Structure 1
Amino acid sequence: MTETPAEAPRTPQPVMGMYDAPMWQSIRDGALKLQHCASCDTVLYPPGPVCPHCLSSELEWRGVSGRGTVLSWVVFHKTYLDAYPAPYNVIAVRLEEGAVLVSNLEAPLPEGSWIGKQVRMIFKPMPDGFVLPKFVLDTDGTRS
């Protein structure tokens, strides 16, 4: 009798509405685009129908740098979803453009803290083919 290899757990899929579908398409394409207000240049995340700053509906999708600073982080030691076996980390990153994203950092646990560390976004294909935005430590020393 031969054993059948276990199927990789499916990545939980985001609920894609009309406002965030363009963002997820850009991630699948290997870039990150976020909504920008054409009136006041505010970066919107999460995306929506109007700018929360000036209430303009003149919004456009623009690429962002994918670089930012870790604001907060936590390590979960319990598995809640099969696609994310414990331990795994969750970080909050303020992008250079101002938006705050929540994701994972592809790095070993630090001896101290990740808060204040510079990171850059990568696009990681999961075993089921879904692409997730994740972060790595930005060690090349370049900052704009």
Structure 2
Amino acid sequence: MSSQIKSAVEEMVKPFLDENGFELVDIEYVKEGSNWFLRVYVDKEGGIDIDDCGRVSEFLSAKLDENDPIPVAYFLEVSSPGAERPLKKPEDYRKAVGKHVFLTTYEPVNGKKEFEGLLEAFDGETFTVNTGKKSVTVPAEKLASARLAIVF
């Protein structure tokens, strides 16, 4: 059900986002405690601000009221993905080349399941991460999660 809701929401909001120069980063439909949350993460070139989030929220709220794809009460949240934005799609990985990332894997690669460093390359099948000591190649099929990381 969650994937159906996410697909329906993406179908509703994507044309508006494309028209206005926004990028859909992710959609989450999750239960926390006794409450359901629909979270839509958007971004744009140069970053997104609170007014942008408000515009997307108003549009999406009206569309959700009109189409009513969610049978229970929920909270709608529209926000930026943040500085440590998740990387979910191949295009996200390609844009992240040359940036600091944090990757986790489902099973160990060279004895480790976490890799943080400069993403040197992504060729569609492997990630090459320079951890400072050496470069590590992580197969895409072993990737559990990926996000940008802030360097202090």
Q: Is the shorter-chain TM-score for this pair beyond 0.5, marking a shared fold?
A: no
**Which TM-score bucket, shorter chain as reference?**
under 0.3
More strand by share: 2
TM-score (norm 1): 0.23
More helix by share: 2
